[in-house]
Structure 1
Amino acid sequence: MDITDRLAALESFFACSQTDAEKLNAAMSFATYRHKDILIHQGDIGAKLWIVLHGRAQLQIIGIDGQIQLLASHGPGELFGTFPHEQAVISDITAQDRLSVLEIPTAKMTALLQEEAGIGSGLSKILGRQYNAVLDRMAARITLTANGRVYAELLRTAGEEGRISPPPVIAALALSAQTTRETGSRAISALERRGIIQRDEERLKIVSRGLLEELVI
């Protein structure tokens, strides 16, 4: 990603001016991670913030029974890490697909926010959107069936365009929906058989959004 694309992404994510985007970009460094790379381990001291440009980052907790539970999943335009101070992280942070991010030390971001009100306003909007997403996922866990959660997560990930490129890893999608890989695989296969989605090596496309939405129960 060149500097023009980075500045455009920051302006969009933070809803800020080009000048503020340039200040953010100057304070951040670009990094990429391969699928399943671990950015930081549960219990380590975190001292960074990341903002996602491409791919997804999953925050996974290893419980006392040794099972992995999904705490949160962050995609383009979303932030994760430690803020406003360095502290122990409560989960592993793992790359899904090929993850591209801009990263900044927590202390540097805190200092930048004290100087630039426009960046602070943008950050509050990002965190507000993420808070709502967490509530949506909690509500889905309480009210939806396992298949319904898979379909809701598929709709959320595909967005308004109805496409996911490259296609999602089924195990990762199932984890995001807080169900098993087997359940996720059966749910996606059922959609393909009915022609509600199309999937190949390059992308997953929602053919009938209305029919898919009706299955979110």
Structure 2
Amino acid sequence: MPGAGSAQDEEGTGEGVQELLCGVFDCSPDLAAQIFMRGRLRDFPVRTAIVRQGDRISTLYIIAAGRAHAIVYSLDGQIVLLHEYLSGDFFGVVSPPYSAIHDADVVAVDDVSSFLLDGSVLALLAEQHGCIGLALLRAMVDRLQQTQSRMYEHVALSAVGRVHAELLRRARQSPDLAIRPVPVVADLALQVATTRETASRAVNALERRGIIRRDADRLIVVAPHRLEELIL
């Protein structure tokens, strides 16, 4: 069963979560401490449903550690990945009326530690501290842009092209164009809405052509311009 408790009782984790909140809300340590005292920590074991599609929720969930996927199912039973949530990402209620029906299952891909903040508390804090509202707005705009980019890719690119685009996107997040850890092919396929076999063939072909190189703990894009040319 997921573990729950007040944030105040988790002193060993508290400092790390407060530091995370500083980054999430672009706020001072003092304000992060106030937010921390108003929320609670909760852990979800791997493969646990954090939120189910159709649940009525009134809480903001902030991922403190681990990874979670927001998924829906197509009419033919295929899993469709809507979002991947990593440390510092959040989902749930972020705007009035602070209670809503959730539109997807959110499942813990790893063991997840999260910080929960009631929507009514979030509303009060956002009214009192402009940085919180601005941070929520920026995050929502970024997520919308990511969603639009993925929608374009699904319409305009082949399945293999989407694999190439995702690898390049992940590599460009690191100065050395390295993806750490090495992507799991099944996760990569889910990310771009294709089959595991298609993703595996695309990655293997890139390796054979010397465009990417696999090390023990990372996948390096050796020739980013050549990879970009293959995004079709």
For residues 5-45 of structure 1, give each alpha carbon's deviation from its aligned partner in whole angstroms, at most 9, with x where no partner exists.
43443333333233333333333444444443321221222
Residue 135 of structure 1 deviates from its aligned partner by 1.0
Structure 1 residues 71 and 198: CA distance shift in structure 2, 3 A: same
Q: What is the RMSD of the two structures over their aligned residues, measured on CA atoms?
A: 2.6
Could you list the per-position Cα deviations for residues 69-119 of structure 1 after superposition, in whole angstroms to 9, with x for gaps in the alignment? 222233343321233322221111122344443332333222321222221
Contact 2:42–2:113, Cα closer than 8 Å, also in 1 = yes
CA contact (8 A) 1:20 1:119 kept: no
Q: What residue in structure 1 maps to residue 186 of structure 2? A: 171
Among 29, 54, 63, the residue aligned to 2:74: 63
List aligned pairs for 1:180-191, cutoff 5 A.
Answer: 180-191=195-206
Q: CA deviation at 1:4?
A: 4.5
Structure 2 counterpart of 1:145, from 158, 161, 166: 158
- 189-198 vs 137-146, greater mean Cα deviation: 189-198
Q: Secondary structure at the match of 1:64?
A: coil
User: Which amino acid in structure 2 is aligned with residue 51 of structure 1?
Assistant: I
Q: Which residue of 1 aligns with 2:126?
A: 113
After TM superposition, give the deviation of residue 177 of structure 1 in Å.
Answer: 0.8
Q: TM-score, normalised by structure 2?
A: 0.79
Give the match's secondary structure for 2:117: strand
Kept after mapping to 2: 8 A contact 1:63/1:69: yes
SS at match of 1:153: helix
Give secondary structure in 1 for the equivalent of 2:106. strand
What residue number does 1:154 align with?
Answer: 167
Measure how far apart 1:133 and its partner are.
Answer: 0.8
Report the Cα offset of residue 54 of structure 1.
Answer: 4.3
1:126-178 CA distances to partner (integer Å, 9 max, x unpaired)? 11111111111111111111111112222333413433333332222211112
TM-score (norm 1): 0.84
Structure 2 equivalent of residue 15 of structure 1: 26
Give the aligned residue type for 2:185.
I
Question: Structure 1: 5+ residue runs without aligned partners?
Answer: none
Of 103, 106, 126, which residue of structure 2 is paired with 1:93? 106
| Equivalent residue for 2:145, pick from 107, 125, 132 | 132
- Matched residues, number: 217
Give 5+ residue unaligned stretches, structure 2: 1-11
Of 43-52 and 193-202, more deviation after overlay is shown by: 193-202
